[in-house]
Amino acid sequence: MEAVTFFLAAIISLAGACGVVFLRNPVHAALSLVATLFGVAIHFINLEAYFVAAVQVIVYAGAIVILFLFVIMLLGVDRAESIKTDPIIGQRQIAILAVGGILALGALIGVAFSGDVTGVPPENAQKSTYEGGTAINSDHVHAGDDVRPDQNIKDIGRALFSTRYVFALEITALLLTIGVVGAVVLTRRPKGELDPLPDDDPPSIYRDNENSSDLESTLSEETDPSDETAADESGKDTSEETGVSGE
Amino acid sequence: MILGLSIGPEYYLALSALLFTIGAGGLLVRRNPLVMFMCIELMLNAANLAFISFGKEMGDLGGQLSVLFVLVVAAAEVVIGLAIVVAVMRRRPKASVDEVSVLRG
């Protein structure tokens, strides 16, 4: 039964991940991300991490993806991005080569060390993991063989407020405070006029604006004067494959 | 046949590696900053899955606690990153990271 759950959740999460990468519309990518997060939450339940699974659904799918969708709607960038246009010449090929190389290297390492992926067998780890911990009751720290959900939550609470993790927890609170303050400061509208953008923006190693007009915003009336040539161009879909400019 | 298969940690680690690779590839390929953030979330989730499966294998609760801390850091990172994206996009409404070549506004 665990195998069936694993493969179903693996299919869901992998399909969602592919959707994030390959769907052109950012809104669709965000919804695919929800599928991946739910799949990973199913894996967490399968691995008896019940509390983390609940937090995964609530925080990731309920808060972070909604934040993404808010920003997408706020900025009005929910138009398609062309997968085919290559912003830096050869970038896509190099990326595909790099990803393939990483996968091949991982497969090579996996074959080389196959059968002993995790190193230490769990019997030895059970004894040695928390011997150094001072204030933790060792009965409650080990994730046992057959963890009930309520026991899992109790264990996590006890461990989080033990002397081993409580400092990290406090630092986490500080980090969240910094995040809130930073978000407010960063999104504040500046007073007065801003300096004009520099002339070499975008730099000349990138393709010309006229050839990437599918990336052009619908809010083009707010763009700088240097962007007006691209904004004037009609036929947004035809110039996708016109290749390198003469620059 | 598939019902009797016992799922060891290596299955979860392989899935985690695949998810991480898809996220890394998407980060390299996509030019929309929002989608790039989503790919970073994919990579963080792959790391979380590896944490939990190692924690189960070792019989240790530290894996789940690490995942909680990763979640908090990811939330803070997304908040700051999206604030930067909003600040930049308000100035130049283009959804490509290649146009942003200077640090200021």
Which residues in chain A have Cβ-Cβ distances shorter than 8 Å to B82? 67-68, 71, 183
If 0-12 CB within 10 Å is exposed, 13-18 middle and 19+ buried, where does residue B2 land?
exposed
pLDDT tens-digit readout, A56-115: 999 988 889 999 999 888 887 656 555 555 556 677 777 788 878 877 887 777 766 665
User: Could you give the percent of chain A with pLDDT greater than 70?
Assistant: 55
Output the pLDDT for position A100.
82
ipTM, two decimals, is 0.90
**How many Cα neighbours within 13 Å face the side chain of A9?**
23
Q: Which of A24-38, A126-140, A199-213 has the highest mean pLDDT?
A: A24-38
If 0-12 CB within 10 Å is exposed, 13-18 middle and 19+ buried, where does residue B50 land?
buried
Lowest mean pLDDT among A205-219, B47-61, B89-103: A205-219
Which of A186, A199, A201, A223 is the best mutation test for B, with the most CBs of B within 10 A?
A186
Mean pLDDT computed over A232-247: 42
Q: For chain A, what are the domain ranges?
A: 1-82, 120-190
**How many Cα neighbours within 13 Å face the side chain of B37?**
27
Output the pLDDT for position B94.
61
Output the pLDDT for position A108.
76
User: Is residue B18 scored above 80 in pLDDT?
Assistant: yes
Q: B76 and A176 in contact by Cβ < 8 A?
A: yes
Helix axes B62-91, A65-75, angle to 10 degrees: 0
Which residues in chain A have Cβ-Cβ distances shorter than 8 Å to B49? 40, 43-44
pLDDT tens-digit readout, A103-151: 788 777 776 666 554 444 445 444 434 433 333 444 444 444 555 777 8
**Rg of chain B over all Cα atoms, to the nearest angstrom:** 18
Helix (H) or strand (E) holding A67: helix A65-75
User: Is residue A207 scored above 70 in pLDDT?
Assistant: no
pLDDT tens-digit readout, B34-81: 899 999 999 999 999 999 999 988 888 889 999 999 999 999 999 999
Q: How far apart are CA A42 and CA A185, in angstroms?
A: 37
Max Cα separation, chain B?
A: 60
User: Is residue A215 scored above 70 in pLDDT?
Assistant: no
- Please identify, in words, the CATH class of the domain defined by A1-82: mainly alpha
User: Is residue A235 scored above 50 in pLDDT?
Assistant: no
- Picking from A17, A42, A44, the residue whose alpha carbon sits closest to that of residue A31 is A17
Would you say B55 and B32 are in contact if contact means Cβ atoms under 8 Å apart? Answer: no
Output the pLDDT for position A175.
94
